[in-house]
Structure 1
Amino acid sequence: MATTVFGHRGIPEKYIENSISGFKYLAEHGEAVEFDVHLTKDLIPVIMHDEKIDRTTNGSGYIKDFNYEALKSFHLINDVNREQQVGKIESIPKLDDVLSVFNDTQIQLNIELKTDNFDYLGIEQIVLNTVQHFHFNRPVIFSSFNINTLDRLYAIDQSLNLAYLSEQPVNDFPHFMQDHHLNALHPSVESLQGGNVVQRIWTVNDDNVLDKLLDFGVAGIFTDNFVHAIKTRNCRG
C-alpha cells in the first residue's frame, strides 16, 4: 500500500500551523492530517503544538492557565516572521472547530494528545466525548508520547486505533506494542525500526529522507508540506 502523507499541523509551508485556514486547505487537497490537543483551565480541548502560546500567537503563557474565553483574545501568528500575519486573523481553534472541518470527509485524522509535559487530568475522556459527535470515514488514530495516556484510552475503548510516539528506538517493540494494545509506532526519522510493524514517521521535510522512507515502504509520514510529499510519492508510480 502507498505511504499515507499526513499534513503536520495542517500545512505550515502555506498557512499558519494549526489554523482553520490550513486545515480547510488540507481537507480539500490532502489525504491525512495530524494535530495536537491540550486542555484549557476550564477543560476545553484546543489545538496547538506547544504547551505555551508564545511561539504561535501574539500572547504569552501556558494554555492550561487560561480559560478558553481568555485564550480567545489572542490570535495566531506566523512564527517564522512574527511581524507578518498571513491571511485573516484567526484564534486558537477548539478541537470541535477542527473536527467540523473534517466531518464526513475521507481525510485520515491523527489526534495527538499532548500529555508528554503536562498529563492533563481527564483529557482522554474529554477528547473521546468530543470526537463521538462527528463522523469520519476512516478510523481516527490517537497518538501520544505518554504511554499512560494510551493505556487510559484503551481502558475507555478497546477498539481505538492507538499509536506510540517516540524519539528513541523502542526496545523489544513487538512485546511493547502487544502489552499496550498499540496499532502502530510513530518514531522520529532517526528512530525508524525494522520488522513487520506499522510505522508513521515524523517530521519529514527533506527530499532525500522522503525518498528513503518511500523506498522502505513505511505506512505514513508527517510533513509540513503535504502537497509536495504527495506529488513526490505519486510521481514514483
Structure 2
Amino acid sequence: MTDLSWLTARPVAHRGLHDMNKTRWENTLSAFAAATERGYAIECDVHLSSDGVPVIIHDGDLRRLTGDDGFVWQRTAAEITALKVGGTADHLPTLQQALDLVDGRVPMVVELKGAAGHDEGLVESVGKMLKHYKGKTAIMSFDHWLIREFPKYAPGIPGGLTAYGNDNHLIEAHFAMLAHDIAFTSYAAGDLPNRFVSFVRERLGMPVITWTVHDQPAVDLTFKYADQMTFEGFEPDLVRLA
C-alpha cells in the first residue's frame, strides 16, 4: 500500500487559508500562499474550462465569487482567469498557477468537480498535470463517474472518495467505490461515526480526513473516528476552539 502518511500529517486548509471571504477569499492564490506560509496542506476545487483547462473554483457557476453570470464550462480559461474574486485583486486561478505558487512546499488535495455532459477530459487533464508536479498531491471527488476514471487517467496519484451521510443507501454507494482503487476518503465530520469509515480505517488501513471542520465538536469527532481534518474559519496551530 502506498504510504499516505503525508496526507494526514498536517491539517488541511479548506480552499486554502482564507478568512471566510472577508478580505482573503477561498480558492485564491492569496489563500494558497497563506496556507503554504503556515505549513498547512491545501484542499482546492477544480472544474474544466470550455477549452479543457483545469481551473480552480468550487461552484459550477460564476455568480457567487465573481458577480458574473454563466457556468465555468461555458468560458475559456483566459476568460475565467480574467475574473476578479469578491471585488479583490485576486483572480480565479488555474490549477497550474496554484501548483507553481505552492511549488511542492505543502501537500495539495485536489477535488475534481464534475459537470454532467461538460467534464470530459477533466481527470485526464488533471492527471497529466500532477504527473509532472514534484510535490505531494492527491485527487478526490464526490462524483463516482470521475472516480471510475482515476486509475486510467491518473495512475500513480492517490485517489479518494469525498463523501457524506450514514443512511444505508449512501453507505452502500460508498462501499461500491472500493472497487476503483481509492486510497483514502474525505468524509463529512458530522456524519461520523459510520460503518463505512470504520471499515476502511480498521480493516483496510485507509486514511480518512474530514470536512469541513469549523468547531470543537467537529475537531473531537475527527480525531476520535478519523485521522486528520479539513478546516475552515480558524487556525489549528493557534486556536483551540471553545
Alignment TM-score, normalising by the size of structure 2:
0.81
TM-aligned CA distance change 1:188 to 1:212, over 3 Å: closer
Task: Using the TM superposition, give the Cα deviation of residue 128 of structure 1 relative to its aligned residue in structure 2, in angstroms.
Answer: 1.3
**Equivalent of 1:230 in 210, 222, 237:** 237
Counterpart of 1:28 in structure 2 is 37
> In structure 1, what is the Cα distance between the partners aligned to 2:69 and 2:132?
32
Residue 199 in 1 paired to residue 208 in 2?
Answer: yes
1:36 is paired with a residue of what secondary structure? strand
Residue 185 of structure 1 aligns with an amino acid whose one-letter code is T
Given that residues 42 and 68 in structure 1 are in contact (C-alpha distance below 8 angstroms), is that contact kept between their aligned partners in structure 2?
yes
In 2, Cα distance between the equivalents of 1:42 and 1:175?
34
Taking the aligned partners of 2:116 and 2:216, their CA distance within structure 1 comes to 31
Which aligned runs of 4 or more in structure 1 are off by greater than 6 angstroms? none
User: Which amino acid in 2 is paired with 1:10?
Assistant: G
Tell whether 2:132 aligns with 1:126: no
For normalisation by structure 1, the TM-score amounts to 0.82
Q: Pairwise mapping of residues 61-210 of structure 1 onto structure 2 (< 5 A)?
A: 61-77=70-86, 85-86=87-88, 89-105=89-105, 107-115=106-114, 120-136=119-135, 138=136, 140-169=137-166, 170-171=170-171, 176=176, 178-192=178-192, 193=194, 194-195=198-199, 196=202, 197-210=206-219
For residues 56 and 208 of structure 1, the distance between their equivalents in structure 2, rounded to whole angstroms, comes to 29
Please state whether the residue corresponding to 2:149 is helix, strand or coil.
Answer: helix
Paired positions, count: 220
Q: Could you list the per-position Cα deviations for residues 65-115 of structure 1 after superposition, in whole angstroms to 9, with x for gaps in the alignment?
A: 1112222332100xxxxxxx45xx12110110001112131x121101101
Which secondary structure state, in structure 2, belongs to the residue aligned with residue 61 of structure 1?
coil
CA distance 1:185–1:73, shift in 2 (3 Å)? closer
Tell me if the contact between 1:7 and 1:30 (Cα under 8 Å) persists in the aligned partners.
no
Q: AA paired with 1:151?
A: R
Matched, 1:212 2:195: no
Report the structure, 1 or 2, having the larger helix content.
Answer: 2
Tell me which residue corresponds to 1:37: 46
Q: CA deviation at 1:45?
A: 1.0
Structure 2 spans left out of the alignment, 5+ residues: none
Offset at 1:125?
Answer: 0.9
8 Å CA contact 1:7, 1:225 repeated in 2: no
Q: Does structure 1 residue 9 correspond to structure 2 residue 15?
A: yes
Decide whether the 8 Å contact of 1:39 with 1:63 is kept in 2. Answer: yes
1:116–1:146 contact (8 Å) kept in structure 2: no
Distance in 2 (alpha carbons) for counterparts of 1:75 and 1:39: 18
What SS class does the counterpart of residue 58 from structure 2 fall into?
Answer: coil
Question: Offset at 1:211?
Answer: 2.5
Name the SS for the 1:171 alignment partner: helix
* Coordinate RMSD, CA, aligned: 2.5
Distance in 2 of aligned mates of 1:114 and 1:32: 19
Question: C-alpha distance in 1, partners of 2:174/2:46?
Answer: 28
Please give the alpha-carbon distance, in whole angstroms, between the structure 2 residues aligned to 1:99 and 1:130. 9
Shift of the 180–191 alpha-carbon distance from structure 1 to 2, 3 Å rule, reads farther
* Aligned-partner SS, 2:129: helix
Shift of 1:165: 1.0
Counterpart residue type for residue 128 of structure 2: N
Does structure 2 conserve the Cα–Cα contact (< 8 Å) formed by 1:37 and 1:49?
A: yes
Moved more, 33-42 or 217-226: 217-226
Structure 1 unaligned residues grouped into runs of 5+: 78-84
CA contact (8 A) 1:7 1:223 kept: yes
Conserved in 1, the CA contact under 8 Å of 2:127 and 2:155?
Answer: no
CA distance in 2, matches of 1:174, 1:115: 17
The answer for the alignment partner of 1:82 in structure 2 is none
Quick one: distance in 1 between partners of 2:33 and 2:234? 13
Distance 2:154 2:78 in 1: 31
3-state SS of 2:64 partner:
coil
CA drift of 1:172 comes to 5.3
